[in-house]
Amino acid sequence: MSVPPRSIGASRTYRPFSGLGVATRVGFGGTGFDIATPLATRFNLRAGTDFFNYGTNFQEEGANVGVNLHLRTGHVALDWFPFGSHLRLSPQFVFGNNDRILATAVIPSGSTVTLSGQDYISSYSDPLRGSGRVDFRKTSPGFSFGFGNLIPRDKSHFSIPVEMGFFYVGQPSLQVAFTGSACDPNYPPSIGCQSVDQDAGFQKNLAEFKARNDHNLSYASFFPIFSIGVGYRFR
What pLDDT does 1 receive?
42
Distance (Å, whole) CA 35 – CA 43: 14
Distance (Å, whole) CA 133 – CA 24: 30
List of domains in the chain: 12-233 (2.40.160.170)
Beta carbons within 10 angstroms of residue 7's beta carbon: 12
What pLDDT does 13 receive?
65
Distance (Å, whole) CA 43 – CA 78: 7
- Strand-pair partners of 106: 64, 129
- Judged against a pLDDT cut of 80, whether residue 216 lies above it is answered with yes
Distance (Å, whole) CA 146 – CA 90: 8
Which phi and psi angles does 224 have, rounded to 5°?
-75, 150
Exposure string of 175-199, with b = 16+ CB inside 10 Å and e = fewer, is ebebebbbbbeeeebeeebbebeeb
Q: What is the DSSP letter of 187?
A: S
What pLDDT does 116 receive?
86
What pLDDT does 160 receive?
95
pLDDT grade for 62, boundaries at 50, 70 and 90: low
Percentage of residues in the chain having pLDDT higher than 90 = 61
**pTM of this prediction?**
0.79
Let me know how many helices (H) and strands (E) the chain has, helices first.
3, 16
Distance linking the first and last C-alpha atoms of the chain: 34
Which is it for strands 87-95 and 63-80: parallel, antiparallel or unpaired? antiparallel
Beta carbons within 10 angstroms of residue 78's beta carbon: 15
Q: What is the DSSP letter of 126?
A: S
Distance (Å, whole) CA 232 – CA 22: 5
H or E element, residue 209: helix 200-217
